[in-house]
């Protein structure tokens, strides 16, 4: 399996380093660059080239990139790690976790699914939630009403009008209305205090999100391997 890279940029004196560690079946090559503020740009660039070369020669193409680095991910020729696919695939579990955090049983809660178009991840989420919740609001311009009628025909669930509101909103794209606790499963994926974890894997907190996304993308973890928790939930074992 191809390694994922991680670049650490430290604005301090020191020697660079490289370390390979396995998280489950996923190898992660961490390369550290030390470049104090007093160092000239030419020397910083040389150290950066050395780090990029080490990652590239190890077969790394996806890199967890630090915001503090003076050079961008794209300038260095690597790809980032998109977490959107993972969160949209687990949107139903996130929505149920949000209801649980509010103390609302699924059978008593309404969930709004909001998007600019009727995507496959939204449809999968709706069909998984229909047997479990009190009501769904489908907020998709031009397509939501017809899809809501189809859901009602398939599952017999009253698909609620916008006026009914919802306790939880799952937004698959920018724009559109929001009700209650809002989970944005697009872009930076803001989850209003929730997180996905893999209890069977010991992942560093600062890398947990991108590593889960890569493991999901490569088929190394499945939905049953994941759990929805709050950001302030202490880790076990007790």
Do 24 and 201 meet the contact criterion of CB atoms below 8 Å apart? yes
Does 71 share its domain with 125? Answer: no
Does 16 share its domain with 124? Answer: no
pLDDT over 70 at 96, yes or no = yes
**What distance in Å separates the CA atoms of residue 159 and residue 176, rounded to the nearest whole number?**
17
Q: What's the pLDDT band for 238 if we cut at 50, 70, 90?
A: very low
Domain end marker among 54, 80, 106: 80
Does 112 share its domain with 43? Answer: no
- pLDDT confidence of residue 1: 77
pLDDT over 60 at 235, yes or no = no
Split into its structural domains, the chain has a count of 2
What is the pTM (predicted TM-score) of this model? 0.87
Does 85 share its domain with 193? Answer: yes
Does 67 share its domain with 88? Answer: no
Query: What is the residue range of 209's domain?
Result: 81-238
Average pLDDT on 33-47 reads: 94
Does 141 share its domain with 46? Answer: no
Domain end marker among 18, 51, 80: 80
Does 134 share its domain with 155? Answer: yes
Domain end marker among 80, 113, 139: 80
Q: What's the pLDDT band for 24 if we cut at 50, 70, 90?
A: confident
What's the mean per-residue pLDDT of the chain? 92
Average pLDDT on 66-92 reads: 94
Q: How deeply is 113 buried, as exposed, middle or buried, from its count of CB atoms within 10 A (0-12, 13-18, 19+)?
A: buried
Of 8-17, 140-149, 157-166, 227-236, the range with the lowest mean pLDDT is 227-236
- pLDDT confidence of residue 236: 46
Does 99 share its domain with 208? Answer: yes
Does 13 share its domain with 103? Answer: no
Does 66 share its domain with 101? Answer: no
Beta-bridged to residue 230, according to DSSP, are 194
Q: What's the pLDDT band for 156 if we cut at 50, 70, 90?
A: confident
- pLDDT confidence of residue 28: 97
Average pLDDT on 224-232 reads: 90
- Structure tokens that stand for 169 in this block: 């909103």
CATH of the domain at 197: 3.40.50
- pLDDT confidence of residue 233: 54
Query: How far does CA 18 lie from the centroid of its chain?
Result: 26
**Which residue carries 């600062």 as its tokens?**
206
Does 72 share its domain with 126? Answer: no
Q: Which of 196, 193, 171, 174 is nearest to 93 (CA)?
A: 196
Does 75 share its domain with 87? Answer: no
């Amino acid at each position: 399996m191809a390694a994922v890279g991680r670049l650490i940029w430290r604005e301090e004196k020191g020697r660079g380093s490289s370390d390979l560690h396995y998280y489950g079946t996923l190898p992660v090559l961490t390369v550290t660059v030390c470049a104090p503020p007093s160092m000239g740009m030419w020397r910083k660039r040389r150290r950066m080239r050395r780090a990029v070369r080490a990652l590239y020669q190890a077969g790394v193409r996806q890199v967890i990139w630090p915001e503090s680095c003076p050079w961008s991910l794209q300038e260095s020729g690597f790809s980032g790690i998109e977490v959107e696919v993972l969160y949209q695939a687990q949107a139903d579990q996130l929505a149920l976790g949000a209801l649980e955090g509010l103390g609302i049983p699924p059978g008593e809660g309404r969930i709004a699914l909001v998007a600019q178009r009727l995507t496959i991840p939204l449809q999968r989420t709706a069909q998984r939630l229909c047997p479990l919740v009190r009501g769904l609001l489908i907020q998709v311009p031009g397509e939501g009403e017809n899809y809501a009628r189809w859901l009602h025909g398939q599952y017999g669930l009253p698909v609620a009008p916008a006026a009914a509101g919802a306790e939880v909103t799952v937004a698959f794209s920018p724009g559109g209305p929001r009700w209650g606790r809002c989970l944005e499963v697009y872009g930076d994926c803001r989850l209003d205090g929730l997180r996905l974890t893999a209890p069977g894997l010991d992942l560093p907190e600062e890398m947990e999100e991108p590593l889960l996304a890569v493991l999901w993308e490569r088929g190394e973890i499945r939905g049953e391997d994941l759990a929805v928790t709050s950001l302030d939930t202490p880790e076990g074992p007790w």
